[in-house]
C-alpha cells in the first residue's frame, strides 16, 4: 500500500503541478517525507524551515503585525506562510505548518498540540486547525501526516472537478 508521500507525488506528477512547503513546528519533517520519494524533484521545489518569527518575516514575508496581533500559531500566520513560500519558490501549491509541539510552550488559549496547516493555491488558501494529543515527536509526525492528507484531499477534489 502506498504511503502518503507516494500518493502526493503521483497526484502532483499526474497534474504537472509543483509544491513548496513552509514549516515551523515540524522542523523540516514534511520536506523530509516528500523527498523520500524517488523522483520528487519533478514536483517538489523546496521548503523553508522558519522556526523563529524573524525568519517567518524575512524569508516568507509574513507581516510582523500578523504575528503580533494573532501569534505565530494562528490561522492567519499559517496562511501567510503558505502564500509566502508559494511566491518565493514560484510553486503551483504550497503547504505550511505552524504549531506548538510541546511539551512546553502551551497556554490555556493555545495548548500544546495546537497546529494550523494551510494550503495555498492559485485560487486562494485553506487553513485547518488541529489539536494533537501526543508527545513532541508524535505531534510533529501527526502534523506532517495531516498536511499530506490535506494536499491529497485538495488534489482529489480538483481532479473530480475536471
- C-alpha–C-alpha distance, residues 94 and 113, integer Å: 22
Q: What is the dihedral of CA 59, 63, 68, 74, to 10 degrees?
A: -80
Which of the four pLDDT bands, split at 50, 70 and 90, describes residue 162? low
- pLDDT above 70 coverage of the chain, percent: 99
| Number of domains the chain is built from | 1
CB-CB contact of 44 with 13 (8 Å): no
pLDDT by residue (tens digit) across 99-125?
999 999 999 999 999 999 999 999 999
Write down the pLDDT at residue 2: 81
Q: What is the mean pLDDT of residues 29-40?
A: 98
Contacts 24+ apart (CB under 8 A), 28-34: 29/140, 29/141, 29/143, 29/144, 30/95, 30/97, 30/143, 30/144, 30/147, 30/148, 33/4, 33/5, 33/144, 33/148, 34/5, 34/8, 34/9
Range of the domain at 153: 4-161
pLDDT by residue (tens digit) across 36-49?
999 999 999 999 99
Which of the four pLDDT bands, split at 50, 70 and 90, describes residue 154? very high
The CATH number of residue 61's host domain is: 3.90.950.20
Q: What is the mean pLDDT of residues 118-137?
A: 97
pLDDT by residue (tens digit) across 70-99?
999 999 999 999 999 999 999 999 999 999
Q: Is the pLDDT of residue 35 over 90?
A: yes
Q: What is the mean pLDDT of residues 118-141?
A: 97
Q: Please list, in sequence order, all residues whose beta carbon lies within 8 angstroms of the beta carbon of residue 10, skipping any fewer than 6 positions away.
A: 2
Which of the four pLDDT bands, split at 50, 70 and 90, describes residue 159? confident
Write down the pLDDT at residue 60: 98
Amino acid at each position: 500500500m502506498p504511503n502518503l508521500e507516494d500518493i502526493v507525488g503521483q497526484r502532483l506528477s499526474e497534474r504537472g503541478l509543483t509544491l513548496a512547503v513552509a514549516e515551523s513546528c515540524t522542523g523540516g519533517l514534511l520536506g523530509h517525507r516528500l523527498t523520500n520519494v524517488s523522483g520528487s524533484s519533478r514536483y517538489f521545489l523546496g521548503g523553508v524551515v522558519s522556526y523563529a518569527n524573524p525568519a517567518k518575516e524575512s524569508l516568507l514575508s509574513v507581516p510582523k503585525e500578523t504575528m503580533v496581533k494573532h501569534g505565530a500559531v494562528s490561522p492567519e500566520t499559517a496562511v501567510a506562510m503558505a502564500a509566502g513560500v508559494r511566491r518565493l519558490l514560484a510553486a503551483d501549491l504550497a503547504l505550511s505548518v505552524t504549531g506548538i509541539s510541546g511539551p512546553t510552550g502551551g497556554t490555556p488559549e493555545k495548548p500544546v498540540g495546537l497546529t494550523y496547516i494551510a494550503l495555498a493555491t492559485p485560487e486562494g488558501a485553506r487553513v485547518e486547525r488541529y489539536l494533537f494529543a501526543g508527545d513532541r515527536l508524535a505531534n510533529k509526525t501527526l502534523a506532517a501526516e495531516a498536511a499530506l492528507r490535506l494536499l491529497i484531499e485538495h488534489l482529489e477534489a480538483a481532479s473530480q472537478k475536471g
